[in-house]
Chains A and B, each alone.
Chain A
């Protein structure tokens, strides 16, 4: 990405028809609905992926390629956070903007601890109620309940993170470094991105990681995943505009399509093992395992290809973005922190319902749909509350709208 030059002129923007669609960021006060749309969609997909497999699982993108909803979520989070707080930094200065970012970090931290409490309640219940000789060995994972003193402290230190609760700690770490990222990016954007790529490369070279409790490592390695976050920030602060010509070129399109087709064929061999004979051995040994912890290059490129095609196919002023059918998704994307937490909670609750009430394909389907309806209803409630508060207090509105764009109330 650092190869992108700054030579593009305004004429080129005018000439390239697709460039308009790519020209971000938006003018002050105007929302970029595409970001909300895709973040909302990512939240729905993350929720579905956290549930046991059912029919809806086949609609999640991880079944059709290397990357999944996490990439979308982190990229858009980097994009919107940089967009909102860089404006704050220009208006109010480095210190005030940093303070606001840290306030946000605190909110995410509290949300994470809240979710951990719910998780603890769920598994304590299972530990006392679930007795199956078939799974005697697997129950060993609940041993940590025997020493809550250590476990809870490790959870507060973000070192003990149960399954499905890895995204928020990653988000917290990334946000802590956001003031520095924005500061540098406002001065030397390409340098910031280059440093990010360098850190990513060094992480792969020297196998850097953050330790977790009781052993192991962070499931999303922040040293690697920062690349997506910083890349999102870079795009928000003018990078997308400069890439417009590359994005609108025909060669890029075909490269992206080619790569997506390749990824699709590879994923097909995971679902239909009979097809595995068509996979060359050398390709397998070179490619596998595709590392999610360290954001494998294959995954990153897959996300880039998806994003490049999306901005091309879906223009910013696409009328569908205003359609009432898409409003639930967009609203979810506008309140991403709340809806993300709700989604994790609903996934726990869904597991619980399936285990205690009944299983069955229809029940799985029903739980997934009910979860999405609840998420949409909650997002509607948050929007309603915000607009009512906004009516009462016009002065607070502009700051509020900013926080809104960054994915949640302040």
Chain B
């Protein structure tokens, strides 16, 4: 009888193990990387009163994945589904406006117009601006980069929405080629000055790499890992948006 019990326990553990693995990759993020002093008041307002949240992701190539299902698998789409899950009863729409191979200065030029041109029902409550990669590749003067960020963030804020900045990807393999430090520092400074939250994609990905969640260093990568990384980024980003909006998702459920 006891042997049967042990066998049963063992079997249940065996069955439970793959089920847990299917929950998704273990890509937890330390809380300090997702907390921010800068709130997102317009997001909070949209969730509470409008019950509708429109987000626009502005970025360069690293906000997308190639392939036919790339759009569904990249982090903006993952952010949308994670937010829908977290914010019960709220309509969440995430749109993207990507400008591959454009520096911050080139991207920031059209920001004011970009939002004005959108139809009223698509005006974003939050713009997530992913930037810095192209500037690092082209070795743009950090002072110029800072000026571009300043003007971009100001233009966005003037047009209405909350702003959240996202920095570069952690890429250990290309550390000898790409100098990312000055751009990451600059983004942090600008975020602090304008009191907008920053999604520290670099530190978060480095944390995953250090913790062994993803092998970002090795040469044997498939499309699968890229998809899982984007999924994790999307979910972490959703957690940060909720945190910065100072909304308690549980309350939304109770009201319903």
B173 touches A355 (CB 8 A): yes
Interface string of B36-68 (1 = CB under 8 A from A): 010000000000000000000000111001110
Residues of A near B175 (CB, < 8 A) are: 52, 163, 351
Smallest beta-carbon distance B137→chain A, Å: 5
Residues of B near A85 (CB, < 8 A) are: none
Smallest beta-carbon distance B231→chain A, Å: 12
Interface string of A267-299 (1 = CB under 8 A from B): 000000110010001001100110001000000
Whether a CB of chain B sits under 8 angstroms from the CB of A111 is no
Stretch at the interface among A178-186, A212-220, A239-247, A396-404: A212-220
A163 touches B185 (CB 8 A): no
Instruction: Please give the number of chain A residues whose Cβ is less than 8 angstroms from any Cβ of chain B in the complex.
Output: 46
Q: Which residue of A lies closest to B215 (CB)?
A: A359
Residues of B near A119 (CB, < 8 A) are: 176
B134 touches A137 (CB 8 A): yes
Residues of B near A132 (CB, < 8 A) are: 173, 221, 225-226
Q: Which residue of B lies closest to A132 (CB)?
A: B221
Interface of chain A: mostly helix, strand, loop or mixed: helix
Q: Which of B100, B133, B169 contacts A134 (CB 8 A)?
A: B169
Q: Which residue of B lies closest to A123 (CB)?
A: B177
Whether a CB of chain A sits under 8 angstroms from the CB of B186 is yes
Provide 26 A-B residue pairs closer than 8 Å at the C-beta atoms, listed in order of the A residue.
Answer: A50-B176, A52-B175, A52-B217, A123-B177, A126-B174, A132-B173, A133-B65, A133-B66, A134-B221, A134-B225, A134-B226, A134-B230, A137-B61, A137-B133, A138-B133, A138-B174, A212-B139, A214-B139, A216-B140, A216-B141, A273-B33, A281-B192, A289-B146, A289-B186, A355-B173, A358-B218
Q: Which residues of B contact A (CB under 8 A)?
A: 32-33, 37, 60-62, 65-67, 100-101, 133-134, 137-142, 146, 169, 171-179, 182, 185-186, 189, 192-193, 215-219, 221, 223, 225-226, 229-230
Q: Which residues of A contact B (CB under 8 A)?
A: 50, 52, 119, 122-123, 126, 129-142, 162-164, 212, 214-217, 219, 273-274, 277, 281, 284-285, 288-289, 293, 347-348, 351, 354-356, 358-359
